[in-house]
Amino acid sequence: MEGMIYLDGGALYRGRGFGAAKTNVGELVFNTSMTGYQGILTDPSYKGQIINMTYPLIGNYGVSELDWQSGAIHAFGLVTRDISFRPSNRCSVMNISDWLARQDVPGVYYVDTRSITKKIRNEGTVKCVVSTEDITRDEAERLLAETTLRYDYMTEVGTKEVQHFSGNGKRVAILDFGIKRNIITSMTNRNCDVYLFPYGTSAEEIMSVKPDGLFLSNGPGDPEEATRGIEVVRSLLGKLPIFGICMGHQVLALAVGGKTYKLKFGHRGGNHGVRDIETDKSAITSQNHSYAVDADSVEDKGMIITHFNLNDGTVEGMRHRELPVFSVQYYPVGSPGPNDSEYLFDRFIELMNTGKGGRSDA
């Protein structure tokens, strides 16, 4: 099966196809993780994107029943230098090509992923066609011209109904922009009583379960498109402790009146250094985002910048000067990635113990 990657601007990469026989148009990005491809592909934050993996061999440990971060692959395509059709892992139930085929997702391998990565770094993320259907260059150009990229996927990738994960600890309401399963697991492992709410849920509905705190999840797209989420968060500021990550961090910034902006090529991978200004310690973090918070826009809205990225100096964390509210731009837990920042869940629980909650029976 032939494979093609065609970039807006005319760059063409031909290789071999795997996975589904299909053609998709999406935003081409790169990820620097060395492991965790199954968690990456099933992370809802990748909805609408075609992922170019910088690590050259993907699929060597197959696909397991344990590593899903949601119920499906959300990425629109996968690009890699080479893949393994014969994985070696006792937990593997199929190879990556069969998995992508079942999920109706195309993949292309045997292309120069280093060249693609350098192109994205130099020119920025770009609209792209990924195809395993042997289409022509003219057909790819037509598809690019006809397709408009979407940036509002956070409105539809999360849960469609309220879900309850029972626990005897603090009651946490999660506003779902496209959450990863391991975030919920990190809460339930701490015995939290978790309610997962769909995007579009009103502040009144959230407060009806009498939560001790509100968690704002990760998710795909442009945070400015999450208008209903921004409105809900704004109305709940000061009413209970709030902890936001990734998309939730950006939504929080917009809710207090700040601004966000799109990065040239984003941060994606499990090796991003972050400095905590208040503790003077650094951590290696797992990240996946295209947008960042404008520091100047939130500092005069009551926020203090607490973390910054060691590579480019962008905002990686903030907290409110007076309210029990804080957020980070990265995943506090790995899968894939490091676990340096799991303490943030404990900080949130401590904040719920000392901050203002909505429950009368706590």
pLDDT at 362 over 70: no
The pLDDT tens digits of the residues spanning 77-92 come to 999 999 999 999 999 9
- pTM: predicted TM-score of the whole model, two decimal places: 0.95
Q: What is the pLDDT of residue 358?
A: 46
State mean pLDDT over 289-310. Answer: 97
Lowest average pLDDT, out of 41-45, 243-247, 341-345, 357-361, goes to 357-361
pLDDT at 355 over 90: no
Percent of the chain with pLDDT over 70: 97
CATH for 2-149 is: 3.50.30.20
Q: If pLDDT is split at 50, 70 and 90, which confidence band does 336 have? A: low
Q: What is the pLDDT of residue 359?
A: 46
Among residues 179, 196, 195, the alpha carbon closest in space to that of 288 is found at: 179
State mean pLDDT over 336-351. Answer: 88
Residue 30 CA to residue 120 CA, distance in Å, equals: 8
Q: If pLDDT is split at 50, 70 and 90, which confidence band does 176 have? A: very high
Q: What is the pLDDT of residue 150?
A: 95
Domain boundaries defined on the chain: 2-149, 154-354
Please, are residues 117 and 88 in contact by the beta-carbon 8 Å criterion? no
Q: What is the pLDDT of residue 284?
A: 94
Q: If pLDDT is split at 50, 70 and 90, which confidence band does 335 have? A: low
State mean pLDDT over 349-361. Answer: 71
Q: What is the pLDDT of residue 360?
A: 42
Arithmetic mean of pLDDT over the chain: 95
Q: What is the pLDDT of residue 339?
A: 81
Q: What is the pLDDT of residue 92?
A: 97
Q: Count the neighbouring beta carbons within 10 Å of the beta carbon of residue 114.
A: 13
pLDDT at 265 over 50: yes
What is the maximal distance between C-alpha atoms in the chain? 65
Q: What is the pLDDT of residue 338?
A: 77
The pLDDT tens digits of the residues spanning 109-130 come to 999 999 999 999 999 999 999 9
The CA-atom distances, in angstroms, between 13 and each of 148, 149, 241, 325 are: 22, 21, 49, 46
Same fold, 2-149 and 154-354: no
- Domain 154-354, CATH number (from 3.40.50.880, 3.40.1190.20, 3.40.50.1980, 3.40.190.10): 3.40.50.880
Q: If pLDDT is split at 50, 70 and 90, which confidence band does 40 have? A: very high
Locate tokens 């935003």: which residue?
27
- What's the token pair of residue 276? 């905590």
The pLDDT tens digits of the residues spanning 188-236 come to 999 999 999 999 999 999 999 999 999 999 999 999 999 999 999 999 9
Q: What is the pLDDT of residue 277?
A: 95
Query: From start to end of 61-122, where are the E strands?
Result: 63-64, 77-80, 82-83, 92-94, 106-109
The residues near 162 (Cβ < 8 Å, ≥ 6 apart) are: 195, 196, 197, 198, 201
